[in-house]
Amino acid sequence: MAKILLEMKNITKTFPGVKALDNVNLKVEEGEIHALVGENGAGKSTLMNVLSGIYPYGTYEGDIIYNGETCKFSTIKDSESRGIVIIHQELALVPEMTIGENMYLGNERGSKAKIDWVTTYSEADKYLKMVGLTESSKVLVKEIGTGKQQLVEIAKALAKNAKLLILDEPTSSLNEEDSRALLDLMLGFKKQGMTMIIITHKLNEVSYVADKITVVRDGSTIETIDNAGHDIDEDRIIKGMVGREITNRFPKREGVKIGDVNLEVSGWTVRHPLYPERTVVNNVSINVRKGEVVGIYGLMGAGRTELAMSIFGQSYGILTGGTLKLNGQEVRLKKSPTDAIKHKIAYVTEDRKGNGLILSQSIKVNTSLANLDSISNKTVIDKDREYQVAEEYRVKLKTKTPSVEQLVGNLSGGNQQKVLLAKWMFAEPEVLILDEPTRGIDVGAKYEIYCIINDLAAEGKSVIMISSELPEVLAMSDRIYIMNASRIVGEMKASEATQENIMAAILKSGRGD
């Protein structure tokens, strides 16, 4: 048996009112890749924050034994000096600085009074090479893509002499190709003896890189599964994550009549708002019928959100070609969401905190925001009516909250998503574009969101559901479009679609480039 590099023993961490971690145990052997999986809010990130000293010694119970010694980290600097380096999910790079400056930010070469730029850049270049980047370290971070920025983060960690590298969802903003490259890089590091902990939601990645998998649920470690053969079944992991066999993850939609084409775009072409030479949506033609749920499957960066937002009153990019028909009539929407809403189109964003909700306001205020006109005489708001409306949707969508006066910022992800849906349902659209409607919410809330989607279809609304979760797309859609590299590369009926032929459509289109 290999040497145990890290052992976290009986870790308990309490926040006012919540026990975030309850007697957690984690053992990591030297030279392995250890995956930490669990639903959102299960406590994975909290555990890593305890390890790295973000939650200092004394604010939690239990012991951290690293390299045979009990550690009492009180800052990140302490853990980093021992070689424990964490790379957070959100990139922490300053766009306006060079790669080299970023890598040594807070860890500058030379003396306090004078930074040694020669050493900085020559060392930076060395580490960049190790992660497979050919860029000079004097290039500004904003000039390289997200995939490369993620690699810079890793190079930055290496520059700190990392012995134990913790990667928190390193591929969440990467496309398939960059993700694969990053995972292979991890495997390469492993060969050189590095120990790594990876937190991820993508179970195929877990099975690919991890030697051991620890499942965290509700603040406790459930089990550690051995994956030396890299062949573990994903359902096996899910079972551990949710604590039961999931037999019915998707509610059935039955007896919904599919009507005429409601929305149709053809030849839709959109360019990037800042770099007009880049085409982000290329000659896309799609349609959706009344009572139909159309899935758009594609990987991150395929252009799905861009397509949706450009249909929604050109709220993204520069539209250079294409027509939009509503109920068979060609419509030219003005460049504003207002006009799209007037034409009964709704776009439910994937980024509910950034683009969707006002966290500092109540459920009531958020629910009515997109359709204030209907509860006011355009000037004065009928507050009683507003309250009734918010109540109505709270009951209808089963939003869990003491009252609709509650601030949205205090709700869980699933309930926030329901408020966002309520807001757009209240705008009375005929076409709803749902962008990743179940991102970052737990299995139970997902089921309820699927039920809402089914109800919308039953009411005769047209639903376009964008998702990067294949099982969800397969189970919820009547028809599926496959999008890759800003084009629609396939269309199939749900009854004919399988994981294999969808992935095949993507791979085939990839080869054409």
Partner 1 sequence: MKSVGATSYLKKNTMLIALVAVIIFFSIVTQGKILYAQNINNLISQNGYVFVLASGMLLCILTGGNIDLAVGSVVCFTGGIGAVMMQAKMPTFLAVLVMLAVGLAIGMFQGFWIAWVSVPPFIATLAGMYAFRGLANVVLGGYAVGINDTAFLNVFGGGADCYIPDFLNGKNLNMTCLVVGIIGTLIFVIMTLRGIAVNKKKGIVGSSTTSTVVKMVIIAALILWITYKLSQYKGIPTVLIWIAVVLLVYGYITTNTAIGRYFYAVGGNEKATRLSGVNTKKVYFIAYANMGLLAGLAGILTVARASSAQPTYGQGYEMDAIASCFIGGASAYGGVGKITGVIIGAALMGIINQGMSIMGISTNYQRAVKGIVLLVAVLVDVLSKKEKA
Min dist. Cβ of residue 312 to partner 1 (A) = 8
Both tokens of 357, joined, read 């909700």
Q: Which helix (H) or strand (E) holds 102?
A: helix 99-103
With binding defined as CB under 8 A, does residue 402 bind partner 1? yes
Closer CB to partner 1, 10 or 410, in the complex = 410
Say how far apart CA 405 and CA 394 lie, in whole Å. Answer: 11
Q: Does 369 help bind partner 1 (rule: CB under 8 A)?
A: yes
d(C-alpha 491, C-alpha 493), whole Å: 7
Q: Judged by CB under 8 A, which stretch of 93-101, 174-182, 210-218, 330-338 contacts partner 1?
A: 330-338
250 near partner 1, judged by CB under 8 A: no
Number of residues located near partner 1, criterion CB under 8 A: 36
- From the list 119, 426, 486, the residue with the least C-alpha distance to 303 is 486
| Nearest distance, CB of residue 395 and partner 1, angstroms | 12
Q: Residue with structure tokens 């809402």?
A: 452
Q: Which 337-366 positions form the footprint of partner 1 (CB under 8 A)?
A: 337-338, 340-342, 347, 349, 354-361, 365
In the region spanning residues 372 to 401, those forming contacts with partner 1, defined by CB under 8 A, are: 372-373, 376, 378-381, 383-384, 387
Q: Closer to partner 1 at the Cβ: 291 or 337?
A: 337
Segment near partner 1 (CB under 8 A); pick from 93-101, 248-256, 268-276, 331-339: 331-339
**DSSP secondary structure string for all residues of 133-198:** --S-TTSBGGGS-HHHHHHHHHHHHHHTT-SEEEEESTTTTS-HHHHHHHHHHHHHHHHTT-EEEE
Closer Cβ to partner 1, 6 or 281, answer by number: 281
- Residue 405 interacting with partner 1 (CB under 8 A): yes
| CB 58 to partner 1: min, Å | 19
H or E element, residue 205:
helix 203-209
Overall residue count recorded for the chain in this entry:
513
Note whether 160 and 80 are within 8 A (CB).
yes
Which candidate, 486, 502, 433, 508, places its Cα nearest to that of 464?
433
CB 355 to partner 1: min, Å: 5
DSSP string, 254-295: -SPPP-SEEEEEEEEEEE-SS-TTSEEEEEEEEEEETT-EEE
| Contact (Cβ atoms closer than 8 angstroms) between residue 213 and residue 204 | no
Name the residue nearer to partner 1 (CB basis): 122 or 336.
Answer: 336
- Token representation of residue 440: 């970052």
Site for partner 1 in 488-507 (CB under 8 A): none
Q: Which two tokens stand for residue 32?
A: 């392995």
Give the span between the Cα atoms of 228 and 471, in whole angstroms. Answer: 26
Q: Which H/E stretch holds residue 81?
A: helix 76-81
Decide whether 217 or 439 has the Cβ nearer to partner 1. Answer: 439
Contact by Cβ (8 Å): 397, 421? yes
Between 123 and 391, whose beta carbon lies closer to partner 1?
391
- Residue number, 231 or 384, with CB nearest to partner 1: 384
CA dihedral (442, 496, 468, 272) positive or negative: negative
The stretch among 37-45, 61-69, 334-342, 436-444 that binds partner 1 (CB under 8 A) is 334-342
Judged by beta carbon, residue 229 or residue 402, the one nearer partner 1 is 402
- Copy the structure tokens of residue 189: 């590091």
Q: Which is nearer to partner 1, 167 or 345 (CB)?
A: 345
Considering the complex, state which of residue 146 and residue 355 has its C-beta at the smaller distance from partner 1. 355
Q: Which of residues 297-326 bind partner 1 (CB under 8 A)?
A: 312, 315
For the bound state, the minimum distance from the C-beta of residue 87 to partner 1, rounded and expressed in Å, comes to 25
Site string for partner 1, 251-290 (x = CB under 8 A): ----------------------------------------
403 part of the interface to partner 1, by CB under 8 A: yes
Which residues form the interface with partner 1 (CB under 8 A)?
Answer: 312, 315, 336-338, 340-342, 347, 349, 354-361, 365, 369-370, 372-373, 376, 378-381, 383-384, 387, 402-403, 405, 423, 427
